[in-house]
Amino acid sequence: MNILNFIKNWTLPVSIGTGIGVYLIFALIPALDGFATKASPVFATLLPVFMFCVLFVTFCKVDFRKMRPVAWHWWVAVFQVLCVVAVMAAILALGLHGRALVLAEALLTCIISPCASAAPVVTQKLGGNLEEMTTYTFLSNFITALLIPICFPMLDEGADIGFITAFSLILYKVFTVLVIPMLLAYIVKHYMHGLCRRIVSVKDLSYYLWGCSLLIVSGTTMKNILHADTSVSFLLLIALLSLVLCLFQFGCGRAIGRRFGVTVNAGQGLGQKNTAFAIWIACTYLSPLSSVGPGCYILWQNIINSWQIWRAAKRRTNQELGIRS
């Protein structure tokens, strides 16, 4: 029971540690290379399945009538755009190249990326507003779809990225990742009430499904970091800067949200990023080495989320004890 309670209370760190540990076992034992090669495409297939299930379960709890933009959405969105403009201005004004450009691109991908699809899961766990967070997830993806085709050609004039093509591709990904599970959840919620009640009745189901997906992502992240073609010191520098950026975005988001009484929502909206998407755009349009930035950001944001969830649970426990006493 102690082990089960530990896993329940620290699901995210356990998932991260297990994913990294399992990958290292396969990486360090030559006899397991064959199995690892065969299992890799299986895990690549399982990840989107888990994410689809996470969002479907989460959207089954959403009151769709309450999904509308609110004030903090626009403030967080404007702040994100200003941060992107600041990084782009620094790159162009200073004429960055080589490792300096890689560092800037690593940070840029972590800023320009949309709010994570799993952000509503954590927000609900922290006691935030699920409908507001879900709405901002869609808004954030649309902003990213506008920013990337505008910014990335400035970094590499030879980049094969037309505005309409990139915009359509990103919206297609948004549709498959967010819209389809939402439509399915809407049908289940309004026309299959018995099934919806059974899904919603399983406490923290989406949270544990997300833990499973995080296990796969952590292993993949460690693989990308270990196979990066650069020095250890440069990898550590990227990791350190991504940590500073992660703390900065969570802190600024909470500061914005404090003005509207929604510190949890705004903090997750600005700080919790779709890092899998960030890795994809880095490998597709920028230096592949810059993908290490969002790879490290995955670990930092989930450590922060784990600490927030632990603190929220402790606060609820203290309140309950206070009421009973």
pLDDT tens for residues 75-90? 999 999 999 999 999 9
133 and 116 in contact (C-beta within 8 Å)?
A: no
How do residues 192-244 score in pLDDT, each as one tens digit?
988 888 888 887 777 788 778 778 877 877 877 777 777 889 989 999 999 99
Give the CA angle between residues 206, 123, 169 to the nearest 5°.
75
Position 325 scores a pLDDT of 43
pLDDT score of 30 more than 80 = no
The count of structural domains within the chain is 1
Kindly state the average pLDDT of the residues 16-26: 83
Model pTM above 0.85: no
CATH code of residue 301: 1.20.1530.20
Per mean pLDDT, which of 27-36, 68-77, 159-168, 181-190 is the most reliable? 68-77
Domain that holds residue 211: 2-324
pLDDT of residue 130: 86
Report the alpha-carbon distance of residue 214 to residue 216 in Å, rounded: 5
| pLDDT grade for 157, boundaries at 50, 70 and 90 | low
Torsion of CA 124, 113, 245, 17, to 10 degrees: 60
Give residues with Cβ within 8 angstroms of 40, minimum separation 6.
none
User: What per-residue confidence (pLDDT) applies to 86?
Assistant: 95
d(CA 144, CA 153): 15
How sure is the predictor about 156, in pLDDT bands with cuts at 50, 70 and 90?
low
In this prediction, residue 45 carries a pLDDT of 75
Tokens representing residue 252 in the block: 């600024």
